[in-house]
A and B are shown apart, each in its own frame.
Chain A
Amino acid sequence: MSGGMTFQDMMIRLSQYWASRGCVIALPFDLEVGAGTMCPETFFRVLGAAPWRVAYVQPSRRPADGRYGENPNRLVKHTQLQVILKPPPDDVQDLYLDSLESIGINLREHDVRFEEDNWESPTLGAWGVGWQVMLDGLEITQFTYFQQCGGIDLDPVSVELTYGLERIAAFLQNVNNVFDVQWNELTRYGELRLKEELEISVYDFEAADPDFCRQEFDLCEKEALRLLSVWKREKRLVGQERKEAAKERAGREPAANGSGPSSPPWADPKRFPLQKVFELCLKCSHLFNILDARGAISVTERAGLIGRVRRLACRVAEIDVQRKARAMEAQPA
């Protein structure tokens, strides 16, 4: 090992740093995601007015970036450290730079630049304005003032910091190949992950059955839409029709108009499994990425599939915002 912090120490130090700045240290999300932004701790929490600070490590999968473990710098599954600061403090850039010092980067010996890079996730209906932070020419962090998520304008805005941990570790340890990074003093990154990189790449680029992926995409979307359709019916009842519905329920049998069974108990807004709708949406997103890496998507189809995932994400965001608004109304009473 050539000096510099181990990969695990880096995760620990950064977590400690952000914990000491009031962040909840959350668990990594247990689904395949393309980025830390897709985790509920970001997606749901940046919506609405409640302040929030969180940091978590998130393994993130990007099938198209797979290189069978042969490329010293590209990974199909890389590790992000995701930080959300809502609302952003005035000295947010300084806070960020201090975090670099906390993992042993002496800023006086390096060149740190904030280069324009406006992040966008078309599948999540999310975008922001900001920079890629460059350390001696290496992109180490995406620094974003989140403007919209799930198609909804954010108010207040959140700052999202996404550190690319492998790159930073290789940099700190002065190794040219990410697989040579020391995970701890005894174990190298490659020992833990090389086989996995190869196998995921083989599946994504060669072995994946596009028809299966397409069917799974359709099924996940169908299930999500089924859940959403129930919320839709419930929501209609909220307004003017609420009284009539109550009368109906009290007086006679539910209206026998052939529109299907009455609402299930989980249609209750407080119990509605919105989280699961979101998870299904994330599954679609990942399946789309595999199909894309596989080269199985034409340009027109591509736009269509992205649109389908985005519609789910936007619907989820919309419902989440409605629920939060309702909860706010309920509070004073």
Chain B
Amino acid sequence: MTAKHTTSLLLEIGCEEIPARFLEAAQRDLGDCIAKALAQARLMGESSVAQTYSTPRRLVVHVPSILLKQPARTEEVTGPPVKAAFDSLGNPTRAAESFAAKYGKQVADLRRVTRPKGEYLSLEVSEEGRDTLQVLVEVLPSAIGQLTFPKSMYWTSKSGVRFVRPIRWILALMGEGASAQVIPFEFAGLKSGNETRGHRILGPGGVPVDGFARYAQTLRERGVEFDPQWRRKLLRLFIDASLRTEGTGKTADLARKVFYPAGSLADYIARAEGLQKEMETLPKPVDLTIVTDAELETWHVNSTETPRALVGHFNERFLRLPREVLVTVMRDHQKYFAVEDGEGHLRPCFVAVLNTRTEDESLIKRGHERVLAARFTDAEFFWQADQRVSLRDRAPMLARVIYQEKLGTYADKVNRTLLLCREIFQQLPASLGITSAKKHAALEAIQLCKCDLTTQMVQEFTELQGIVGGLYAQAQGQSAEVAEAIYDHYKPGNMEDSCPRSVVGCLVALSDKLDTVVAGFWAGLDPTGSSDQFGLRRAGNGVVKIAAERLPGLHLDGLAHRHLSTGVGAEPNSPIERRVKDFLQERVEYYLREVVKLRYDTTRAVVNSSLGWSDPSDAVLRGKALESLIDSADYRALSLAAKRTRNILMKSAADEEAGMNHLAPELMKEAEEQSLYDAFTSIQKRLVELEARSDYEAAFRELGGMRQPIDGFFDQVLVMAEQPEVRANRLALLSAINTQVFSRLADLSEVAADDGGAEKAGASENRRGG
């Protein structure tokens, strides 16, 4: 495609400040809408790409190359069926005539085409390619109109356009330089034009541009970095610079050197890189770094046009408040980065991000410092006021805090959780060595862990629930074990998060979360599709992770069963139990795949085995052991044999012969039959011993010994023998092998029988062995 056949497109939608959390999606969606519309209008050439940018005040699409003229196209239009198009004399009917007339043709011009339903009249319509400008005039407003937002608004009247925030200008240009022209259209009551606008303060007013090159330069000169990737770089650079020059008075010097005046992009990049190098040579006056926070960084990228950073300070006395409170106030309420020293201790300073630049930042700095001091004073007030009533004295208040309509108050939840935790004590294997003192601490922590919901600190900083309770418990003289368990009891917040630090914390967290799951299902709060308002999936994931990593030997299905009847008072054998167990099994599968990183088929094999999923820690051991052997030839062959065994048993299940009879060794006539039986009995005996020691790797290796005898058996012996008692005996042998060997530790028939099959979901179900 030569240059003269293409042109470019630049679209900027100028808005009042778009919320940071919507910006990335809005930028992407506008790009997609425009690219799709251009493709539909046949304007995208082979090399056409829509590049997108954004700032809080603009969404930008730049397509460097689109076709200058829409290609012509011909299209086959199908008319009425021939049967209806001509009467019995062969004369055209009204249907035929009006079809032809619609396209300005005679009936004689029409062709006949055969379609699956019969013969039809048809017509080739050709459409001239139109000028791109004309097409864009129609396409752009309708593409913009297709954008949707999680929350949109009207800004004049209800008959007006809805958008994320009011649109104040539209720049729409085709072409670059002298050939650039405005694509004239109207949207949201605005006429498109060739003007952009700079930074509110640094470059106000409209400025005409004649294409992307000028656009980019104009904006950079007027204090707008419109490329979010560049803003991120600048932000990091300035944060680094502000910390390195902290206390030296050099920040402004350095910044001035680099960013006044803006100049061309190349200069700008060169200067930015120069600054970086210069900074690296600077001696560091103090060892300060920001507490890394990717989410906060992205928020700043998406809420600035010209990011800058400054370091502010606060009174050291506030460092007596817990780190968690300080960081939350700085991050969530003021959008500041907390600062720590080389040893990870918070320093009495912070980094604030600005969206402007001034010669003298001291005024702005003082403003931020004053606001933060006021916030910390507030937190100090909450801390002191909350201490007047201890967590223990707050426990009765929980009877007034609703947990969920059907599930009562938090006091009710605490009581259920206590019951569940006592059930867990019954089940805990002695090997965990949990003393009665620890058990006592867990029950104590459960009684106190929700009490912080009644404190002012948590009402103000809800994200600190649990943490505040733990800090208060510590301040109020509770044992470290109890305080820590309360602090940690919302952990793990997700699969990447760690479990509570202590075993007591794990007992509290698991009891709390399993109650949330079981009671949640009982109240009909089942998660569906993408919606999980009550957070049951997260709670379920937490249960599985804690059980798998910290509380081996717990059986979740037994606990769920007991808790349903004794904890929430469901009818025995209610269908809820099935749903809860299916849900927990799903969570275990998720954990095995996503955290343990087991293959899909290994995961299925483990959870569908007789030992099953109920003890997640055991499922992990079996899964890992199986996966270390699974790729051997023996295992692929064994998998085929297991599938074949299962198929035979399934087919004969109708006879109800299989497994019903005791094995009668005297009925085993064939040598292969006899040796299979011998191998089975000796291997099975070894498996029982190895299983008791959880030595699954040895067990799976032992299991490999089944390969030759089972293959020999299938080669030489006809299972469906003539004599009913011989047939029954053979089926009984296979059934015993199936339940006690092939699907005991892992269901080997789930193992993918060939290489590479493991990755495909459902692969094992679709293949037939034997």
Contact = CB atoms under 8 A, between A and B. Distances in A.
Interface of A: 67, 70-74, 87-88, 90, 93, 97, 107-116, 118, 129, 131, 135-138, 145, 147, 153-157, 170-171, 174, 176, 298-300
A71 B402 CA distance: 31
B371 A136 contact: yes
Contacts of B165: 129
Contact of A129 (B56, B153, B168): B153
A156 B378 contact: no
B171 to A, nearest CB: 16
Contact of B378 (A73, A118, A170): A73
Contacts of B378: 71, 73-74
Nearest to A88: B155
Contacts of B402: 298-300
B605 to A, nearest CB: 47
B377 A71 contact: yes
A157 B372 CA distance: 35
A153 B370 contact: no
A111 B303 contact: no
18 contacts: A71-B377, A73-B377, A88-B156, A90-B168, A97-B200, A109-B364, A111-B356, A112-B200, A115-B303, A136-B363, A137-B372, A147-B153, A154-B158, A155-B157, A155-B158, A171-B370, A176-B374, A300-B402
B366 interface: yes
A145 B154 contact: yes
Contact of B16 (A114, A135, A137): A114
A107 B370 contact: no
Contact of B374 (A72, A113, A145): A72
A138 B201 contact: no
B155 A108 contact: no
B400 interface: yes
B370 A116 contact: no
A109 B370 contact: no
A231 to B, nearest CB: 26
B157 A114 contact: no
Nearest to B334: A137
Interface stretch (B17-25, B443-451, B531-539): B17-25
Given A110-B367, A138-B367, A116 B20 contact: yes
Nearest to B164: A129
Interface size class of B (residues with CB under 8 A): 35 or more
A299 B21 CA distance: 30
Q: Which of B151, B363, B366, B370 has the most CB of A within 10 A?
A: B370
Given A129-B151, A131-B17, A73 B374 contact: yes
B154 A171 contact: no
A137 B367 CA distance: 7
Q: Which of A93, A136, A147, A153 has the most CB of B within 10 A?
A: A136
A299 B400 contact: yes
B363 A109 contact: yes
Contacts of A70: 381
Contacts of A97: 200
Given A116-B20, A135-B367, A153-B158, A145 B381 contact: no
B253 interface: no
Nearest to B20: A116
Across the A-B interface, give the 4 residue pairs with the lowest CB-CB distance, nearest first. Answer: A136-B367, A116-B19, A114-B17, A73-B374
A171 B363 CA distance: 10
B293 interface: no
B166 interface: yes
Contacts of A107: 201
Nearest to B403: A299
Nearest to B368: A137
Interface in B129-177: 151, 153-159, 165-166, 168
A76 B377 CA distance: 16
A88 B17 CA distance: 16
Contacts of A129: 151, 153, 165
Interface of B: 16-17, 19-21, 56, 151, 153-159, 165-166, 168, 200-201, 303, 334, 336, 352, 354-356, 358, 360, 363-364, 366-368, 370-374, 377-378, 381, 400-402, 405
B156 A87 contact: yes
A70 B374 CA distance: 12
Contacts of A113: 17, 303, 355
B334 A156 contact: no
Q: Which of A71, A109, A155, A299 has the most CB of B within 10 A?
A: A109
Nearest to B401: A299
Nearest to B400: A298
A137 B201 CA distance: 17
Given A114-B17, A145-B155, A108 B201 contact: yes
Contacts of A88: 155-156
Given A112-B201, A137-B371, A176-B374, 9 more contacts: A109-B360, A109-B364, A110-B363, A114-B17, A116-B17, A137-B352, A155-B158, A155-B159, A171-B367
B123 to A, nearest CB: 48
Contacts of B19: 116
A171 B16 CA distance: 26
Contacts of A109: 358, 360, 363-364
Contacts of B16: 93, 114
A184 B40 CA distance: 67
Contacts of B356: 110-112
Contacts of B355: 111, 113
B130 to A, nearest CB: 33
Nearest to A171: B367
Nearest to A68: B381
Nearest to B366: A174
A72 B168 CA distance: 39
Given A111-B354, A111-B355, A176 B367 contact: no
B200 A145 contact: no
Nearest to A67: B381
A328 B370 CA distance: 52
B528 to A, nearest CB: 25
Contacts of A131: 17
A250 B702 CA distance: 106
A71 B381 contact: yes
A228 B154 CA distance: 32
Contacts of B20: 115-116
Contacts of A147: 153-154
Nearest to B22: A116
Given A116-B20, A145-B166, A176 B154 contact: no
A90 B197 CA distance: 15
A84 to B, nearest CB: 15
Given A67-B381, A116-B20, A156 B157 contact: yes
Contacts of A171: 367, 370
Contacts of B352: 137
Contact of B358 (A108, A116, A153, A298): A108
